[in-house]
Amino acid sequence: MNKPTRVPDRPEPIPGARLLFSNDATVAQLNHGSFGMVPVPVQRAQQRFRDEMEANPHRFFSVGLEERIAHVRRHLATFVGADPEGTALVDNATTGSSIVLSSIPFGTGEEIVTTDHGYGAVDLAVDETCRRTGAVHRVAPVPLTADDATVTAAVLAAITPRTRLVIVDRITAATARLFPVRRIIQEVRATAGDRVAVLVDAAHAPGIVDDPVRELGADFWVGNLHKWAFAPRGTALLSVAPAWRARIRPLVLSWSTEAGFPASLEWVGAHDYTPWLAAPTGLFVLRSLGIDAVREHNAALAEHGQHVVAAAVGAEVPAPTGLPMTLVPLPEGVAAELTAAVALRRRISDELGAEVGLSAWHGRGYLRLSAQVYNRVDDFQRLAEGLPKLIR
């Protein structure tokens, strides 16, 4: 980590971008990484689909809906560089991970490897799978400041002859780290061949990084589009390698179960399909602003805001990651466990009018600050001005 020195230059706002959102301007929204923010044009597109659905529900659900969903799937899969025929729309990355876990017949003593940076809900699903099947959950410890070689070595060191599945994050939720999944997959293949499957949890990746899914070599990949690709919440993709597609089983059986993957996952009766149908409008908004311009703006603003807040609380600054999410370590003993972290996050919201991500990781509290095109430097300054008093 680095001592905060000169605050990086603030980026120029993207003209007109802030007007695309309907967020409460009195609140510093610094937690885009959790729930996203749906642009107004996407909200309107979704409302048009809702209006169509409510005008004649029977016709909406029974005439051509599956073809419309397939069209959206092809559009979104192309955006992330995945095979449309091997990709299914699902509600979120956690759902996709649970589908994968329920589709692999783990035997007693077989192992599922994750890292200690993994998303909590996925860890819960892994633990439940282990209770149900007798499998074993092995956790690879990875230092917060680990470089790519160290991350890769840590994952490989956790693999044994009993390992059946490795789950690795592309961008970690709690610690905002970019993991070298392509390198990890290559090393796993070189070490264990096809004996060990790899699931890439890319919940934050779509819209942030260019990782053509078909080039990664993963057995499974799951990513959300409601975070950084401006889709409505409830829009995610699960991409599956050809060897696994016939073995994928939906969590809920419905009328399309016999159709096989991906339709067996997508059609679940009276589901609200309007987020999926409106998702291409989100990609249109992102492309209209300029994907590279949005990424560069958000990464620069996140780094600037990180330094502003870190200086206010006297924290060391982790090395830049180029991501639109950054970490600020809190003083020792502040938000050091989950209950305390939740309580502090609520106080920040109630008393400072700021929404942040906050996690307790290995006995240390960390603020996770997100930057999106609707944010301004003032949002971070508001947090910086009020936080020192609050954590005292």
132 conformational bin, left if phi > 0, alpha if psi -120 to 50, beta if neither: alpha
pTM comes to 0.95
Statement to judge: residues 122 and 95 lie in one domain:
yes
Provide the pLDDT for residue 319: 86
Provide the pLDDT for residue 256: 84
Q: Is residue 4 part of a domain?
A: no
Q: Is residue 100 part of a domain?
A: yes
Statement to judge: residues 346 and 239 lie in one domain:
no
Report DSSP state, residue 363. T
Kindly give, in sequence order, each residue whose CB lies less than 8 Å from that of residue 92, ignoring residues fewer than 6 positions away. Answer: 203, 224, 226, 234, 236
b or e along 162-187 (b: 16 or more beta carbons within 10 Å of the residue's beta carbon)? ebbbbbbbbbbbbbbbbbbbbebbeb
Start-to-end C-alpha separation, the chain: 23
- Go through the chain and tell me how many residues it has: 392
Statement to judge: residues 278 and 356 lie in one domain:
no
In degrees, rounded to 5, the angle at the alpha carbon of residue 25 between the alpha carbons of residues 24 and 31 is: 70
Number of domains comprising the chain: 2
Report the 10 Å Cβ neighbour count for 20. Answer: 19
- Of 237, 260, 284, at which residue does a domain stop? 284
Cis amide linkage into residue 8, ω under 30° from 0: no
Statement to judge: residues 363 and 242 lie in one domain:
no
Statement to judge: residues 301 and 371 lie in one domain:
yes
CA-CA distance, 221 to 20, in Å (whole number)? 30
Contact at 8 Å (CB) between 370 and 32? yes
Residue 45: helix, strand or coil by DSSP? helix
- Of 284, 316, 347, at which residue does a domain stop? 284
Supply 234's token pair. 């409830």
pLDDT, averaged in runs of 10, over the chain (392 residues): 66 95 96 97 98 97 95 98 97 98 98 97 98 98 97 98 98 96 97 96 96 96 98 98 96 86 90 97 98 97 97 92 96 96 97 97 97 97 96 88
Residue 295, amino acid: R
Q: Please provide residue 217's backbone torsions phi and psi, each rounded to the nearest 5 degrees.
A: 85, 15
Statement to judge: residues 95 and 217 lie in one domain:
yes
Report the 10 Å Cβ neighbour count for 233. Answer: 16
Statement to judge: residues 200 and 323 lie in one domain:
no
User: Which own/partner pairs from 353-357 qualify as long-range (CB within 8 Å, at least 24 positions apart)?
Assistant: 353/26, 353/27, 353/28, 353/382, 354/27, 354/28, 354/30, 354/379, 354/382, 354/383, 354/386, 355/27, 355/28, 355/29, 355/30, 355/31, 356/30, 356/31, 356/383, 357/30, 357/31, 357/33, 357/34, 357/325
- Of 267, 284, 301, at which residue does a domain stop? 284
CA-CA distance, 375 to 297, in Å (whole number)? 10
b or e along 234-251 (b: 16 or more beta carbons within 10 Å of the residue's beta carbon)? bbbbbbbbeebbeebebe
CATH number at residue 210: 3.40.640.10
Q: Establish how many alpha carbons lie within 13 A of residue 381's alpha carbon, considering only the half-sphere containing its beta carbon.
A: 5
CATH number at residue 307: 3.90.1150.10
Contact at 8 Å (CB) between 186 and 176? no
Domain that holds residue 246: 42-284
Statement to judge: residues 140 and 117 lie in one domain:
yes
CA-CA distance, 160 to 257, in Å (whole number)? 35
234 conformational bin, left if phi > 0, alpha if psi -120 to 50, beta if neither: left
Provide the pLDDT for residue 5: 58
